[in-house]
């Protein structure tokens, strides 16, 4: 479907609560929906924020709402955010994994509390500024016309997928006969489907992603033409609630430093101690800037002294006759042992120690169970399902097979074949065609239908779901 083509008649206006963050993306999302004829309400969610930038963001969101002439509210989710997102992140790092707070924020706050409150206040939909696309399917696999999509109020923010060319039956369609999927955004550099893998059919039924069919320069140009005050506002970077505060400094408030060894992996399987760190919990797999250079026994400064760390190290190097200009390649964290409080590093970005071919997953969610799990039930055996997957945001998609883990298969086979399937209690394994680099426990692995299966007639690449890396 073309952009912004569906117009909702005044008699059947649907109400949409837009999560307005104070950025250009959510501002344009609200604008597009208003132009399509929706009854738009803007909401700024006040969540936990460390550096105080939320006040400026709230004011920017209010100014946009005023420009658009739409109602505007501020909803306070700070305490819930602390419990559901901040605590989750801190506990994850404390136990040695690398959690993804953005995924948890979407699951618990935006498409949890925000969606629930919006629906309770009479909303038909909620919308966000995510670069992703909502996909719509006729459950019988038949085509749904644009007119029918309009009657279902799916909007131009939803994209139709045609599974086959079967003729439409005489039965009238209803939302109960439509299932939903999640597709990647048109802007491949901004696609945010990676963070949305926990979405369910119940949630997607009430979700719209208006800017999914646009690229970032188009979004900014739309904002400029409309005179929105956020048109040229810079995008936020990093973990949203930290702002300009460094992650290490924040974690240091909750996790005490503890000195441990930094070990360099040798080709014969042994290790060489090359330095010390101040707590294995502060590091993640694939991290390069760890405060120790290649070669030489040095003591790292405490994390709170990170700014002075390079200077201290330079002095230590000079005393040993070493300089940074060596033939040694950079070091990367390859393994963490929280109990022993050790970091194992590998030399060079192409070191085999940094790669994994098999990735075990827990808490797996299939976005469209009526389609995906049916396939899983039939083909999840030894061969598994052919997918395209990634283990990091913006990582290029790679070919893989998704199948049940041997660890979870023996006591879950009956549940899988029965009607009481609960995929979140089943472990799966992604087996990549080519080993993948920097696989971190706690992060999300997501998987999509291969292009041959999903990218037909210009449709968006469809996400099957995702899980948490063990």
Interacting residues of 42 by C-beta distance below 8 A, sequence separation 6+: 17, 18, 20, 30, 61, 64, 65, 68, 70, 71, 72, 73
Residue 466 contacts residue 444 (beta carbons within 8 Å):
yes
β-pairing, 342-347 vs 331-337, is antiparallel
Using CA atoms in the order 31, 465, 457, 178, what is the torsion angle rounded to 10 degrees? -70
Tokens of 325: 């200009």
Residue 233 contacts residue 24 (beta carbons within 8 Å):
yes
Q: Which residue's structure tokens are 């052919």?
A: 386
12 half-sphere exposure, CB direction, 13 A CA radius:
10
Helix (H, G, I), strand (E, B) or coil at 80: helix
Nearest by Cα to 348 from 416, 437, 250, 429: 437
Sheet holding 125-127, edge to edge: 72-76, 39-46, 15-19, 125-127, 207-208
Residue 84 per-residue DSSP state: I
105 carries an active-site annotation: yes
Name the catalytic one among 47, 136, 207, 240.
Answer: 240
Name the catalytic one among 47, 105, 136, 207.
Answer: 105
Catalytic positions, please? 105, 240
């Amino acid at each position: 479907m073309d952009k912004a083509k569906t117009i909702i008649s005044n008699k059947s206006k649907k109400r949409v609560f837009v999560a307005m963050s104070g950025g250009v993306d959510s501002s344009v999302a609200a604008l597009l929906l208003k132009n399509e004829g929706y009854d738009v309400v803007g909401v700024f969610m006040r969540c936990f924020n460390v550096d105080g930038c939320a006040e400026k963001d709230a004011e920017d969101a209010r100014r946009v709402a005023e420009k658009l002439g739409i109602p505007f509210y501020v909803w306070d989710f700070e305490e819930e955010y602390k419990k559901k997102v901040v605590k989750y992140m801190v506990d994850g790092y404390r136990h040695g994994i690398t959690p993804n707070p953005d995924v948890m924020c979407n699951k618990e706050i935006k498409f949890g509390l925000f969606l629930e409150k919006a629906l309770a206040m009479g909303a038909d939909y909620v919308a966000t500024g995510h670069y992703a696309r909502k996909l719509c399917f006729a459950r019988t696999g038949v085509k749904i016309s644009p007119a029918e999509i309009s009657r279902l109020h799916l909007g131009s923010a939803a994209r139709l997928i045609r599974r086959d060319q079967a003729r439409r039956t005489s039965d009238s369609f209803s939302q109960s006969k439509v299932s939903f999927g999640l597709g990647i955004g048109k802007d491949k550099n901004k696609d945010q489907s990676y963070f949305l893998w926990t979405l369910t059919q119940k949630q997607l039924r009430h979700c719209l992603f208006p800017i999914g069919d646009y690229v970032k320069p188009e979004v900014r140009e739309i904002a400029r033409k409309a005179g929105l005050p956020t048109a040229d506002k810079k995008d936020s970077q990093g973990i949203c609630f930290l702002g300009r505060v460094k992650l290490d400094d924040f974690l240091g408030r909750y996790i005490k430093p503890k000195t441990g060894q930094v070990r360099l992996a040798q080709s014969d399987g042994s290790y060489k101690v090359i330095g010390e760190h101040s707590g294995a919990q502060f590091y993640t797999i694939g991290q390069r800037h760890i405060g120790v250079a290649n070669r030489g026994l040095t003591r790292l400064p405490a994390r709170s002294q990170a700014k002075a760390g390079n200077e201290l190290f330079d002095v230590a190097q000079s005393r040993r006759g070493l300089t940074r200009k060596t033939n040694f390649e950079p070091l990367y964290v390859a393994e963490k042992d929280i109990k022993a409080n050790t970091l194992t590093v590998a030399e060079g970005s192409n070191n085999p120690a940094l790669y994994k071919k098999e990735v075990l997953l827990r808490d797996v969610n299939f976005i469209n169970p009526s389609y995906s799990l049916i396939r899983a039930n039939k083909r999840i055996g030894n061969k598994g399902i052919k997918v395209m997957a990634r283990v990091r945001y913006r990582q290029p998609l790679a070919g893989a097979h998704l199948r049940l883990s041997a660890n979870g298969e023996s006591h879950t086979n009956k549940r899988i074949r029965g009607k009481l399937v609960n995929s979140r209690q089943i472990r799966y394994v992604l087996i990549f065609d080519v080993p993948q680099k920097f696989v971190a426990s706690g992060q999300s692995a997501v998987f999509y239908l291969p292009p041959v299966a999903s990218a037909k007639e210009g449709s968006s690449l469809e996400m099957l779901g995702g899980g948490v890396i063990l």
